[in-house]
Amino acid sequence: MQPDRPVDRARRKFLATTTLTALGFALRGRPVFADAPPPLDLASLFGADYPTGVATCVVRAGKTDFLGAHGWADRERRVPMGVNSLLNIASVTKVFTATAIMQLVEAGRLGLDTPIDKHLPYVVRNPRYPDTPLTVRQLLTHRSSLADGPAYDAGYACGDPSIPLGEWLAAYLVPGGANWDAAHNFHSWAPGTIDPPEEPRPYSNIGYGLLGHMAERVTGQPFTALTRERVIAPLAMDGTDWMLANIDSGRHAMLYERVPDEAAGDSLRADMDAALWRDGPDAEGEPGSLRPLCLYGHPTYPDGFLRSCAADLGRFLLALTGKGELAGRRVLHATTLDTMLDDRHFGRALCWNSTTLGGRSDTLWYHNGSDPGVMTMLGFRPADGTGVAVLTNCGDPGPGMGDLIRAVFLEDS
């Protein structure tokens, strides 16, 4: 079903574009490239009585260094969180979408600066700049001027999406479509602007949905099948997939949010659409208490709805720290990964964000994600092959997530 009121996505947009410091993951101290760092203690980092769940994988020097979980995948049924517990990984999904797109760039089937209209059955233009085409490079860097308008917010609903990706995008991007909104579906700045205004955020989930659909048009495959064949299967990420219908539902963790206290000005998901509460919009809950959500989806799933686990994300990290290859299976050429991790694309990298721990060689590349009932982070440091994946099944995981990341990358955590 479609929500009656839009989900407030402002928090997701903020979290997905901010630095680790703004998220509370301040990386203070001196980086260290230790061969044998102290083992992680998730119970100490998150608390012995942590009310929801966290799962993480740490890789170092081409091997899995730590794989563990703590807390609950399902509080009500007392199911522990595990390293194979599945979650929709929110905007961490975008690095997988970007990987699939760059594979097509490697093959010469897409060009970073070719107008995207070449690969679509319609023309996409910001109506304020009708003569300026959009490009793949712009979409990958959130510099296309496509905005997440009200129709995007309203697309969140329990279950798998009922509208095909291409059909939904056409209704959003083509004048006269059911979701066309010239005032809100596009930013006021021109495509390719290097330094657009910070508000409203230039971050575009719509842009990544469009990238997925372009891949479909180029290859003739559904994006779900394309990514399974070219990214997920080669890395033996056996539990990872897109749609609820295609995963082991018994492995999917429950999602939790806190009941907002509007009288106290509690802004945490205060405007979340009641349609996502698992026990219905009229169920009672004490302000601040944890309440389960339904398992939900969105028509533009390439922007945030890959469902994965800590164990599988660890294999993806090993491929990234292995310069695009794991166990003889290559998903990206090393030169392609170098191209992605370079800030020459409108002053940004392609998809990835970065923070400098010390000198330039200490750069940490990362992407984080936040959606109702979920917060995730994937990051790696090429200098020593250290990487971490963190998944939590609560939109407010507390300070433990930042503490964990500091413990992985800094010696004085």
The answer to whether 221 and 86 are in contact (CB under 8 A) is no
State residue 360's pLDDT score: 53
pLDDT at 279: 78
Structure confidence at residue 276 (pLDDT): 87
Q: Are 364 and 357 in contact (CB under 8 A)?
A: yes
State yes or no: pLDDT of 26 exceeds 60. Answer: no
Per-residue confidence (pLDDT) for residue 362, from 0 to 100: 81
Q: How far apart are alpha carbons 45 and 48 in whole angstroms?
A: 9
pLDDT tens track for 109-142: 999 999 999 999 999 999 999 999 999 999 999 9
Pick from 408, 410, 412: nearest CA to 67 = 408
For 137, the token pair is 């490079």
Q: What's the pLDDT score for residue 211?
A: 98
CA distance 242 to 306: 5
Res 269 pLDDT > 50:
no
- Per-residue confidence at 357, pLDDT binned at 50, 70, 90? confident
- The tens digit of pLDDT for each residue in 292-330 reads 999 999 999 999 999 999 999 999 999 999 999 999 999
Residues 232-242: pLDDT tens digits?
999 999 999 99
State pTM to two decimals: 0.91
> What are residue 325's DSSP bridge partners?
330
Q: Supply the pLDDT for residue 341.
A: 97
Q: Which pLDDT score, from 0 to 100, does residue 283 have?
A: 61
**What are the φ/ψ torsions at residue 260 (nearest 5 degrees)?**
-70, 150
**pLDDT (0 to 100) of residue 288:** 81
pLDDT of residue 411: 57
**10-409 maps to CATH 3.40.710.10:** yes
Q: How confident is the model at residue 39 (pLDDT cuts 50, 70, 90)?
A: confident
